[in-house]
């Protein structure tokens, strides 16, 4: 229930930002590279793709086996929760949660760093060297890019498994007792 209140209050805040005087702030000094429609389409595709890869196939089962608000797992009420609760993740309130960090990240990019590279992400570790020769090597060397990508990907999978709950197990679907 707290998620729903957070999502709805974020939606109200983002709409207020968009239609207030803050919605007219231009982050850059040049014309946009993409039209508003293209930019919104790219954000939509990225958000949908990341969510669908994981939750698209199992969210209903998650709410069926562990429904919110004290509903009995496997009941008709759990089926109703499983088929409707995802709307809060994929509807307009969920998109408000995507928009807020996007605004903050892009504002930081335009006002502070002016570039997005792997070497910029390493700045906390290697300091000013991220803007020198070492930064060029990190950005342009294919093996370095591959290893940095694999390290990040491995850590993402490890964290997601560390914090994940069991969603479907063989025992829960009656395969064995």
Which pLDDT score is estimated for 170? Answer: 46
Whether the pLDDT of residue 163 is over 60: the answer is: no
pTM of the entire structure?
0.42
C-alpha–C-alpha distance, residues 39 and 48, integer Å: 14
Q: Binning pLDDT at 50, 70 and 90, where does residue 158 land?
A: low
Whether the pLDDT of residue 166 is over 70: the answer is: no
Mean pLDDT of 142-165: 64
Whether the pLDDT of residue 152 is over 60: the answer is: yes
Whether the pLDDT of residue 2 is over 70: the answer is: yes
C-alpha–C-alpha distance, residues 103 and 27, integer Å: 10
Which pLDDT score is estimated for 177? Answer: 52
Handedness of CA 69, 74, 80, 83 (dihedral sign): positive
Mean pLDDT of 99-104: 77
Mean pLDDT of 62-79: 87
Which pLDDT score is estimated for 146? Answer: 74
């Amino acid at each position: 229930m707290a998620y729903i209140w957070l999502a709805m209050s974020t939606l109200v805040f983002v709409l207020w930002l968009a239609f207030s005087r803050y919605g007219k702030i231009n982050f850059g000094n040049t014309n946009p590279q993409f039209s508003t429609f293209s930019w919104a389409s790219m954000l939509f595709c990225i958000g949908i793709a990341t969510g669908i890869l994981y939750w698209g196939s199992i969210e209903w089962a998650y709410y069926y086996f562990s429904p919110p608000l004290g509903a009995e797992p496997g009941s008709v009420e759990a089926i109703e929760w499983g088929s409707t609760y995802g709307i809060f993740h994929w509807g307009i309130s969920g998109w408000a949660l995507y928009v807020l960090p996007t605004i903050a990240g892009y504002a930081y990019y335009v006002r502070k760093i002016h570039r997005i590279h792997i070497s910029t992400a390493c700045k906390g570790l290697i300091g000013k060297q991220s803007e020198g020769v070492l930064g060029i090597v990190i950005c342009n060397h294919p093996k370095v890019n591959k290893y940095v990508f694999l390290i990040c990907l491995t850590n993402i999978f490890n964290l997601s498994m560390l914090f994940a709950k069991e969603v479907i197990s063989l025992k829960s679907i009656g395969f064995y007792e």
